Amino acid sequence: MRRTRSRPAGTSSVALQRGKYPFLLALTVPGAVIYGYFMFSPYLQAMWISLTDWGGYTATMNFVGLDNFRRMIADPQLLTALRNNLILLLVVPVLTLALGLFLASMINVGGRGRAGAVTGVRGSSVYKVVYFFPQVVSVVIVAVVWKYVFAPANAGGVLNNALEAIGLGRLAQLWLAEPKYLIWVVVIVMTWSFAGFYVVMFSAAMQSIPRDIYEAALLDGSSRFTTFRKITVPLVWDTVQVGWVYLAIQAMDGFALVSVMLGTGGGVEGAGDVLGVKVYREAFTPPNNFGYAAAIGVVLLLLTLAVSLIFMRILRRERVELA
């Protein structure tokens, strides 16, 4: 009779445990490599091009080191674009998030139902659709529509004609022809187009807050503003933080909106220019300078990363959880 050697208990499970790692690596590594190549290689190529004088349509590419970055210091239009991006970065997130929180609060806890129950205002489901509508419209369409809103009265400008219709014609301005107004026009349009998304996002976060908390606070004599500041904001703060970082990234772009509304020149005297439009203009407007455009793009990338990290650090706070 042939004697078989018995294996210790658990040997087979250990072998299976060891065998699963090569299997998992074989499944994940090829996809990770392909994703990493197509994700990071454009960044590396842009960084290399930023160190050259490549024109984009020529075979020659001479290494110039940091000359493109030194050129930025003496470029007044670049400084204008950077200033405008900083204005968008500081103003648009504040206005958008404040408006989004207020509207979401009204939609979810702004009304009173039977027996004093806290509910949303009447027609809240309709308001959500209305506020979210700009998100399903192309940025190009948004820019074209608002370009006509701010157009002169004789060109069918909605805003100036409305001001004249209500007897405030003295407030009518050539909004898109005055350099001092251009960046603030962009701020208004960005806030309008972004707010609806954050209304819906904050509404989803507020729906997880028990209504009993609001009702108890109101019974204790707390005002609506107090409950908003002491209950709503702390309990949706994680969502606010995510929205703030995302809005900061959007504010550092603005290419599509500005290029359609104000043109690739940044409007009158380039007063509405932003870094994204500056990159496009340097790369595709003669004399084409892809090297300088890539250098501006690298700076834009680094600024966006730095802003995101700073915002995440500043907005970090202790998490409030419901028992």
Tell me 220's DSSP state.
T
C-beta separation of 186 from 92 below 8 A:
no
Buried b (16+ CB within 10 A) or exposed e, 171-196: ebbebbeeeebbbebbbbbbbbbbbb
The Cα–Cα gap between 260 and 272 comes to 12
Q: Which class for 37: exposed (0-12), middle (13-18), buried (19 or more C-beta within 10 A)?
A: exposed
The structure tokens listed for 101 are: 């929180």
The Cα–Cα gap between 176 and 150 comes to 7
Per the document, the length of the chain is 323
Instruction: Give the mean pLDDT of 108-122.
Output: 68
Q: What's the confidence (pLDDT) of residue 125?
A: 78
Lowest mean pLDDT of 90-104, 107-121, 165-179, 252-266, name the range: 107-121
C-beta separation of 105 from 206 below 8 A:
yes
For 149-190, give the secondary structure using H, E and C: HCCCHHHCCHHHHHHHHCCCHHHCCCCCCCHHHHHHHHHHHH
Q: How confident is the model at residue 169 (pLDDT cuts 50, 70, 90)?
A: confident
Question: Whole-number mean pLDDT of the chain?
Answer: 84
Q: How confident is the model at residue 112 (pLDDT cuts 50, 70, 90)?
A: low
CATH architecture of the domain formed by 67-314: Orthogonal Bundle (1.10)
Residues above pLDDT 70, as percent of the chain = 89
Q: How confident is the model at residue 115 (pLDDT cuts 50, 70, 90)?
A: low
The Cα–Cα gap between 99 and 57 comes to 46
A 10 A CB-CB count for 98 gives 13
Instruction: Give the mean pLDDT of 98-111.
Output: 85
Q: Which of 225, 149, 208 is nearest to 181 (CA)?
A: 149
Instruction: Give the mean pLDDT of 3-22.
Output: 57
Which whole-number Å values give the CA distances from 263 to 55, 63, 268, 271, 310, in the listed order? 23, 32, 9, 11, 32
The Cα–Cα gap between 304 and 279 comes to 15
62 has a pLDDT exceeding 60:
yes
Tell me 138's DSSP state.
-
The Cα–Cα gap between 111 and 218 comes to 12
Q: What's the confidence (pLDDT) of residue 3?
A: 56
C-beta separation of 84 from 273 below 8 A:
yes
Q: Which of 85, 322, 311, 75 is nearest to 214 (CA)?
A: 322
pTM: 0.82
The Cα–Cα gap between 194 and 94 comes to 12
Tell me 119's DSSP state.
E
What tens digit of pLDDT does each residue of 201-231 get? 998 888 888 878 887 887 777 777 888 888 8
The Cα–Cα gap between 92 and 96 comes to 6
Domain ranges of the chain: 1-49, 67-314
Helix (H) or strand (E) holding 297: helix 290-314
Instruction: Give the mean pLDDT of 306-316.
Output: 81
Q: Which residues contact 189 (CB under 8 A, 6 or more apart)?
A: 142, 143, 146, 257, 261
The Cα–Cα gap between 278 and 136 comes to 27
